[in-house]
Amino acid sequence: MTCTPENNTIVSACDNGYAIGVWLLIASIRKSGMRHPILIGAYNWTDEWKNDILKFPGVTISDLPITDKRSVTCSKPEIMLQAQTDVVTWIDCDGIVSGDMTESLQCPDGMINIRPKTTSEIQELYRKSRLPNENPDMIPSKVLNIWKKDVGGLETPKYNHGFGACLIGLSLPRNRPFLEKWKEQMFKVLPEDVSLVHDGSIAYFQTDESVLNSLMLFHPAAPELKPNYTADLQDRAHYIHFGYNPKPWIMWNNYSLWRFDLTLDIVEWAVENGYAPHCELPYTFKRSNKTLCTLLAPFSKPIAKFRKYKRKWFK
> How would residue 68 be classed by pLDDT, with cut points 50, 70 and 90?
confident
pLDDT at 160 over 70: yes
With residue 164 as reference, give the H or E element that holds it.
strand 163-171
pLDDT at 238 over 90: yes
- The CATH code for residues 5-118+162-196 is 3.90.550.10
Phi-psi region of 200 (alpha: psi -120 to 50; beta: other; left: phi over 0): left
pTM equals: 0.94
Write out pLDDT tens, residues 3-57: 899 999 999 999 999 999 999 999 999 999 999 999 999 999 999 999 999 999 9
> How would residue 308 be classed by pLDDT, with cut points 50, 70 and 90?
low
pLDDT at 309 over 80: no
Which residue ranges make up each domain of the chain? 5-118+162-196, 244-314
Long-range contacts formed by 267-270: CB under 8 A, 24+ apart: 267/24, 267/27, 269/27, 269/31, 270/23, 270/27, 270/31
Strands 224-225 and 111-116, by their bridges, are parallel
